[in-house]
């Protein structure tokens, strides 16, 4: 009799452990979530997340900008688009438009509030005009070297040409 009771208890414990192993998952976004079994992520989940990342990057590369308003990044809780950033982006777009290249431009915002500039998914510069410390970054050649200038918006405007020149020559 005691043996039967113990067997029933063991079956219940094993069933509950199996259910617990299947349920845990990590939420990624509305479409994807990954399941963790014993602390490990399954291969199929890794593959689907890699595919998701590539699909998002491809969409970003296909995005075509037709006017400067489409170039402006969306506001976040911490950083709102300010007048100096609009001036900088308008100046960039004014110089970029005569290139007559496909306008696969993307402007994102990094965690420190900097504008992350990309053309066809490749970065060509950044500018931080939020907070106290302002800087402007542009790339030099294909070797990944870059130059950072510290100052105010008036000092950055002449260097916007460097972004356009980099796109023209290397991207």
Q: What number is the average pLDDT over the span 127-145?
A: 92
Record the pTM.
Answer: 0.60
Within 10 A of 142 (CB to CB), how many other CB atoms are there?
A: 10
Confidence band (pLDDT; 50, 70, 90) for 32? very low
Asked whether the predicted pLDDT for residue 100 surpasses 70, the reply is: yes
Same domain, 54 and 96: no
Share of the chain above pLDDT 70, in %: 57
Same domain, 37 and 121: no
Residue 98, phi-psi category: left (phi > 0), alpha (psi -120 to 50), beta (remainder): alpha
Cross-strand bridge partners of residue 115 = 109, 127
Same domain, 75 and 134: yes
Confidence band (pLDDT; 50, 70, 90) for 78? confident
Same domain, 58 and 72: no
């Amino acid at each position: 009799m005691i043996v039967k009771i113990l067997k029933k208890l063991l079956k219940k414990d094993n069933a509950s452990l199996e259910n617990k192993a299947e349920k845990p998952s990590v939420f990624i976004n509305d479409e994807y979530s990954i399941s963790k079994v014993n602390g490990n992520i399954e291969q199929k989940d890794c593959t689907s997340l890699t595919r998701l990342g590539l699909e998002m990057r491809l969409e970003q590369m296909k995005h075509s900008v037709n006017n400067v308003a489409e170039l402006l990044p969306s506001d976040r809780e911490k950083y709102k688009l300010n007048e100096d950033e609009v001036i900088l982006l308008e100046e960039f777009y004014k110089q970029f438009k005569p290139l007559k290249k496909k306008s696969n431009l993307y402007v994102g915002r990094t965690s420190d509030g900097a504008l992350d500039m990309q053309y066809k998914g490749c970065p060509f510069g950044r500018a931080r005009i939020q907070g106290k410390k302002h800087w402007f970054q542009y790339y030099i050649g294909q070797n990944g070297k870059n130059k950072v200038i510290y100052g105010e918006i008036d000092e950055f405007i002449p260097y916007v040409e460097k972004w356009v020149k980099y796109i023209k020559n290397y991207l």
